[in-house]
């Protein structure tokens, strides 16, 4: 049930709740690097939302590392679409002149919209 709720929260942009939902799943199986990758992905987007660019970049890199181990559709998610989005986000972040934008977070460029769907 938590996995399905994760999709709803993600598509609403509630990345903090996504973290909690995925963490509940991951804590039952800490060897599940797919869930850990999604967890890092959501944490990265949450960090970006309040200007923590360094944290966002770091989490995106580890999310990509974990999720790149999978191919095609895994747990109903098309992996290459997620990896492509992560790469787009990393490109945007790398072009920003500062690493910590918490004081000016409202002026950060919006990341492209991305929705997750079960395949």
pLDDT digits (tens, 9 = 90+) for 88-103: 999 999 988 776 666 6
Residues of the chain with pLDDT under 70: 99-105
What token pair was written down for 80?
Answer: 């290459």
Measured at the alpha carbon of residue 92, what is the angle toward residues 88 and 94, in degrees to the nearest 5?
115
Q: Is the dihedral of CA 28, 18, 108, 85 positive or negative?
A: positive
Predicted confidence at residue 32, as pLDDT, reads 96
Residue 77's DSSP bridge partners are: 74
The whole-number pLDDT of residue 119 equals: 82
Q: Tell me the backbone φ, ψ of residue 78, rounded to 5 degrees.
A: -80, 105
pLDDT at 112: 93
What pLDDT is attached to residue 103? 67
């Amino acid at each position: 049930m938590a996995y399905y709720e994760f999709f709803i929260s993600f598509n609403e942009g509630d990345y903090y709740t996504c973290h909690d939902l995925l963490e509940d799943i991951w804590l039952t199986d800490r060897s599940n690097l797919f869930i850990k990758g999604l967890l890092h992905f959501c944490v990265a987007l949450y960090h970006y939302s309040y200007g923590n660019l360094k944290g966002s970049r770091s989490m995106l890199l580890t999310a990509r590392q974990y999720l790149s181990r999978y191919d095609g559709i895994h747990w109903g998610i098309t992996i290459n679409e997620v990896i492509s989005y992560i790469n787009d986000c990393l490109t945007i972040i790398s072009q920003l002149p500062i690493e910590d934008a918490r004081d000016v977070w409202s002026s950060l460029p919006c990341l492209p919209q991305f929705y997750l769907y079960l395949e």
